[in-house]
Amino acid sequence: MMADRSGEITYKGKSTESVLSNVTSFDEDNLAIAIRTFNKFTLIDKYWDESIFNHLLGRALPPRIVKGLFICSDVLQSGRVVCSDFIITLSGIASGPLPHRIMNFTHVWDTAGKGYLTAEEVTQLYEDCDIPENCRTLITDGETITASDIGVWAMSNPDVSFAISRIVFLLVHVLLEMPLLQSNVELYPHFSEYFKYIVEHVNPENFDMWIILSQRTYALMLDPGNMITKDDTETDLCIEKTFVLKHPQSKSVYVLRKNLRYKEDFFAVPLKLFRMVMGSRSDEFIHRSTCQLSNVASDFQFPDDWYSPKPTNSYFFDLYPPVICFIRRSPSKDYVLFVLIVVPRCASIYEYFARTQNTEQLALSYRLRLIMRDGEHREDIIGDHQTVADLGCITEGAILIEERSSLRDNWPVYSPFGSSENEEPVNTETPSNDSEEKLPTGLMNKGLTCYLNSVIQCLGNLEFSKKFFVKDTTLSLQRLGIQPKTDLHNALADVFTVLWEKKRQYLDPTTFYHVFLNRTSDFPMYQQHDASEALNCLLEILHNDLRIQINERLKNDDPETRSPKDFWKLQRYKNGTTPISYFCEGVVISELMCGSCHHNSPTFEPFVIHNLPLDNVTELEIKFIIVNEENTQYEVRYKYIPPTLTLEQFLNDVAQELSFPTERLFFYYANRRCDLLYQDNVNRDFLISKYFENGKQEKPFVVYRIPILSSSNSLSPRFSMCFQLLARENPKNGSFGLSSAGYPMLKHFPPGISRAGIYDSIFQIFKNMKSLFANAKEKHRSQALHDKEKDEYPFHLIYLDSDGQNCPLPHHQQNCYGCIIPIDNTPFDFSVSPNIGILWKVIPFCLFYRNIIFVLHTRNEKEFTEVLSRPLNSHISLCDCLAKTMYPEHLDDPIDCGGCKTKCYMTKSMKLFLAPPVFIISLKRFTRRNYGYVKDSRPVTFPLDNFDICRYMHDTAPAPGKYKCTGFIEHTGGMGSGHYVAYIRQNDKWYCLNDDNCTIIDQSQLKTDDAVLIFYELMHVEPTLISTHPFSDVLKKEAKIMTLIQNSRDSELYLQ
């Protein structure tokens, strides 16, 4: 039997909304709105706890109504409300004939589920619904009041039915923002009266945002046939006011007149209520917010001329929020108006400004300074979270936007209007105690050549450059019988000579640029270029110009049996040797290990510049779910992990917290194929961060606790992933597909179990879940659910392959996601279907089982609070970047194995095998995404001294000494408009070389965040580094050549 997505198997692909609409009075549109509003406040999946429930409803409804709604909706009595249960409760009190709505609403006060109200509960109903005194006639001594009694009483008293139904209207159509569709209007024949009552009885503390209407506009709005416009209100309530600057670009804002009378001159309509009627047109009208006195200055006194009567509680309508003029400087250094904004008194100034204005036209970095407050001149820098109230601003203010092009630059000096001062001068003078020391020589920018200037400065500052980039080097090569190309080398040597002499303030490098650009066409003038690519091109040309061929033969001439080391040596001999290859070239060993036979296949990859990606190396916040051994409890946890945490270390931490053996934990990730997950759980030495996309966790991790099966705790092949699935219809093309209906279950099945036994075993899990809620209330459950529970099972089981995604059975049916497993006594063949799909029948799943599964999620509140309160570390560590590239990675596709001669899944690992004396690292900040390149601007930290790379070296390679940073290049700005600046170290002092401008800078003030190229040199080269290395025979020959070049001695003996 095929799962062909038809009939009883799929229920025509019904969604949650369509199922609920068949068992409630809401249509699908209203259900979609309710679910969307509900989920807006959901922190985990699809349920609310009581605090979130109060947050949504508590300000506008009496506390007893909110608590009663929560208890009625908590069908499972778990202390949490599930989406579908809440909607069923809501639809019962918001739809249908008015008597039914009123009768269902009385359950809110019957929190114990007695079926009647006591005299005390009826009194509470009077108070909560504001029933008129003359209508409070229900209570008689010794009697209980049923829902039918209340329905008859309400329908016989129009004032009572109006009072109760307007509460329902407020709850559904205002608080949950359901639009008042034509079908809903028929349910509320007294809509205008509801609207009027809510507006005239609402208090400032009930809502956050309001629409301010004049008395005339409000009267027009009460008649649905009238068309209202903002002009009516502006004419009646507003005055025009030009603010602060008498400037041609100044604009006007509208402010309300003073001494207004509440409910006479103006009315405040809750924004949600107004939007329900006017839709998107609400944006045209005057918005004002609620303000709490405690959020304003402690000495704040409500002004007498604002509006009357004065507020008697702690909240008031902020009718007169301060008008703020934001000012910026033009290129001519004049002060010009940027924008006028009415800023809510208690809103964060930075957040509100960024949210309402296009800040892309501002510089990369900006800050705000208060320069005027209610006519008083100020010079105050505004803090990140300060509000207008914090600044003590009552009516008006002016804020200056101060900009700088990069984080390295100084902020401009504030000067009052009319002052000729512009910016802080950059400190270019050498401190007095170093006045005799010469500053390094700068290089003129010849038209967007900062990329090459910075490369030359850092390259010339290396010790090996001072030994080999001199004109004598070419003479030494000629004595060795080599005929090198000398134009580029000698031009560069001429530049280095001037830089080392330090006799000039700056040098014009035109000659070198002409030579370099004649040798390559990749870097045309007057265009932006990448410094790393320029450095790589320069070193490659110099190597080819100066290389010495080593005439050496390998002992093994057979390519079929030649080892990877012999291949590397052969390539090295062919490429020849130069000072660049000897000092700058390192080697990375890449090893592929077979997951079946553990055969290891190494390859050696040389590099001159080590390219290092930055992806996903910041501190990671993860969410993971721990499932108990019975698959009936899901505990949600949160924590921060370092980017170098392996799966083994992660599971060890979890096992320690649970006091549970690590070997009985199974790790699952939704986007990972099942067969690869089993490989991951066998070999757990890869990084957790490999599952993150762009630093974000797409779905939670799941950690299963495996029950004890035998003396061996290892994973059994009879463990199957049981995926919970729902059939869904694509409304665009009518096709069907399967979507996830919850987290899968890791289930062990005994040998020889029948196909019917599989059904019973899985159904028993859900029976165990239901047994945890034996006291669940039945009054809101639909008859449709009771009918479907007469079925033997609320789901079908389908075959799934090792990927957990397709049908494993051989047939010609197209688009088969899995064939139905028959219910019979035939033994189940796990070799055909290692995984199982639980294809839910839609009605029982949506109306009951879905709720149970969601409620069984528990959350560690302490961990959750710590995650919310702890800021993420935005800095990236160079060491973490290196560590990430060196950790093993499981390849997704099988590869031919040289050991077992079959396609197998491989584990790839990379380590440094040969550490060069000069270690140049390029941070890959520019990546291609969506048909273009973008820059990764995250700050990077890296060591300046004693950089130890031993932990990144291969076990068979000797560890080098420690490195010292001799310079680095930073890139500020974005793509197509950036600038390169070099920083170099000389005599333990740091210098900033910005083209022809050179300044000394203290190490504590170095700005390393924007580095793109980092230059390291070994502090001490140990002789054993060559003698004990597996490539020692090659390295010794090259070392001898370097000595001969440096000493300018004849070496004909060697060439023989």
DSSP result, 5-55: S-TTTTGGG--HHHHHHHHSS--HHHHHHHHHHHHHT-SSTTEEEHHHHHH
Candidates 259, 368, 376; CA nearest to 310 is 259
Q: How many CB atoms lie within 10 A of CB 861?
A: 9
| Secondary structure percentages of the chain, helix, strand, coil, to 5 | 35, 25, 40
Which of residues 1049 and 330 earns the better pLDDT score? 330
**pLDDT tens across 95-124, in order?**
778 888 888 888 889 888 788 888 888 888
Cα distance between residue 285 and residue 229, in whole Å: 8
User: What pLDDT is stored for residue 989 in this prediction?
Assistant: 92
- Encoded amino acid at 718, one letter: R
Cα distance between residue 704 and residue 650, in whole Å: 13
Torsional class of 555: left (φ above 0), alpha (ψ -120 to 50), beta (otherwise)? alpha
CATH 1.10.645.10 is right for the domain spanning 11-192 = no
Q: How is 292-315 classified by DSSP, letter by letter?
A: EGGGS-TT----TTSEESPPSSSE
Cα distance between residue 793 and residue 805, in whole Å: 23
HSE (side-chain half, CA atoms, 13 Å) at 43: 20
Cα distance between residue 270 and residue 259, in whole Å: 22
Note whether 667 and 743 are within 8 A (CB).
no
User: What residue ranges in 102-149 does DSSP mark as E strands?
Assistant: 116-117, 145-146
The domain spans of the chain are: 11-192, 202-317, 323-404, 468-581+1023-1056, 585-615+877-1021, 629-863
User: What pLDDT is stored for residue 1025 in this prediction?
Assistant: 60
User: What pLDDT is stored for residue 535 in this prediction?
Assistant: 94
Residue 5's pLDDT band, with cuts at 50, 70 and 90, is very low
Cα distance between residue 986 and residue 872, in whole Å: 36
Q: How is 849-863 classified by DSSP, letter by letter?
A: IHHHHHHTEEE-HHH
Candidates 445, 496, 503, 530; CA nearest to 995 is 445
- Token pair 């009518």 is found at 734
Question: In the CATH scheme, what architecture does the domain 323-404 have?
Answer: Roll (3.10)
Residue 712's pLDDT band, with cuts at 50, 70 and 90, is very low
User: What pLDDT is stored for residue 730 in this prediction?
Assistant: 64
Going from the C-alpha of 24 to that of each of 84, 755, 783, the distances in angstroms are 10, 37, 11
Backbone angles phi, psi at 42, to 5 degrees: -85, 130
CA 606 to centroid of chain Cα atoms: 35
Average of per-residue pLDDT across 995-1001: 88
Q: What single-letter DSSP state applies at residue 847? A: I
| Maximal CA-CA distance, the chain | 124
**pLDDT tens across 812-838, in order?**
666 677 888 999 999 998 888 888 999
Bridge partner list, 47:
82
- Token pair 């003590």 is found at 392
Cα distance between residue 69 and residue 72, in whole Å: 5
Q: Does the pLDDT at position 1013 exceed 70? A: yes
Q: How is 472-537 classified by DSSP, letter by letter?
A: HHHHHHHHTT-----HHHHHHHHHHHHHHHT-SSEE--HHHHHHHHHH-SSS-TTS---HHHHHHH
Q: How many CB atoms lie within 10 A of CB 339?
A: 15
Number of residues in the chain: 1056
Residue 203's pLDDT band, with cuts at 50, 70 and 90, is confident
Note whether 586 and 899 are within 8 A (CB).
no
Bridge partner list, 497:
none
User: What pLDDT is stored for residue 89 in this prediction?
Assistant: 82
HSE (side-chain half, CA atoms, 13 Å) at 743: 29
Note whether 452 and 980 are within 8 A (CB).
no
Q: Does the pLDDT at position 182 exceed 70? A: no
Range of lowest pLDDT (188-202, 330-344, 418-432): 418-432
HSE (side-chain half, CA atoms, 13 Å) at 212: 27
CATH topology (fold) of 585-615+877-1021: Cathepsin B; Chain A (3.90.70)
With a CB cutoff of 8 Å and minimum separation 6, the contacts of 301 are none
Cα distance between residue 911 and residue 309, in whole Å: 76
- DSSP H/E element including 275: helix 271-278
- Encoded amino acid at 98, one letter: L
Average of per-residue pLDDT across 699-712: 77
Q: What value does the mean pLDDT of the chain take?
A: 78
Average of per-residue pLDDT across 478-495: 79
HSE (side-chain half, CA atoms, 13 Å) at 122: 22
Cα distance between residue 314 and residue 173, in whole Å: 27
The two tokens of residue 803 are 């990927």
User: What residue ranges in 788-944 does DSSP mark as E strands?
Assistant: 795-800, 835-840, 857-859, 876-877, 889-890, 895-896, 903-904, 906-914, 918-924, 926-929, 932-935, 940-941
The two tokens of residue 93 are 């009190």
Q: Does the pLDDT at position 703 exceed 90? A: yes
- Token pair 């923002």 is found at 177
**pLDDT tens across 506-550, in order?**
888 988 998 998 899 888 887 888 999 999 999 999 988 888 877
Average of per-residue pLDDT across 251-265: 79
The dihedral formed by the CA atoms of 191, 196, 201 and 204, expressed in degrees to the nearest 10? 100
Cα distance between residue 19 and residue 5, in whole Å: 17
Note whether 807 and 801 are within 8 A (CB).
yes
User: What pLDDT is stored for residue 305 in this prediction?
Assistant: 85
Q: For the chain, give the percent of residues with pLDDT over 90.
A: 11
Cα distance between residue 823 and residue 759, in whole Å: 7
The dihedral formed by the CA atoms of 329, 332, 333 and 338, expressed in degrees to the nearest 10? -20
User: What pLDDT is stored for residue 525 in this prediction?
Assistant: 80
**pLDDT tens across 838-877, in order?**
998 887 887 778 788 878 877 766 666 665 555 555 567 8
Provide the 3-class DSSP secondary structure of residue 686. Answer: coil
Candidates 407, 376, 406; CA nearest to 392 is 376
Cα distance between residue 411 and residue 407, in whole Å: 9
User: What pLDDT is stored for residue 780 in this prediction?
Assistant: 45
Which of residues 734 and 801 earns the better pLDDT score? 801
Backbone angles phi, psi at 538, to 5 degrees: -60, -45
- Token pair 């079959």 is found at 902
Note whether 94 and 165 are within 8 A (CB).
no
User: What pLDDT is stored for residue 557 in this prediction?
Assistant: 58
User: What pLDDT is stored for residue 763 in this prediction?
Assistant: 92
Cα distance between residue 410 and residue 999, in whole Å: 14
Cα distance between residue 910 and residue 1031, in whole Å: 18
Cα distance between residue 372 and residue 395, in whole Å: 11
Note whether 836 and 753 are within 8 A (CB).
no
Q: Does the pLDDT at position 452 exceed 90? A: yes
Q: Does the pLDDT at position 920 exceed 90? A: yes
**pLDDT tens across 216-239, in order?**
888 887 776 667 776 666 677 776
Residue 1055's pLDDT band, with cuts at 50, 70 and 90, is very low
**pLDDT tens across 406-447, in order?**
555 667 776 665 444 443 433 333 344 444 568 899 998 887
Burial pattern 79-101, b for ≥16 Cβ within 10 A else e, equals ebbbbbbbbbbbbbbbbeebbeb
Which of residues 372 and 363 earns the better pLDDT score? 372
Q: What angle do CA 412, 418, 422 make, to 5 degrees?
A: 20
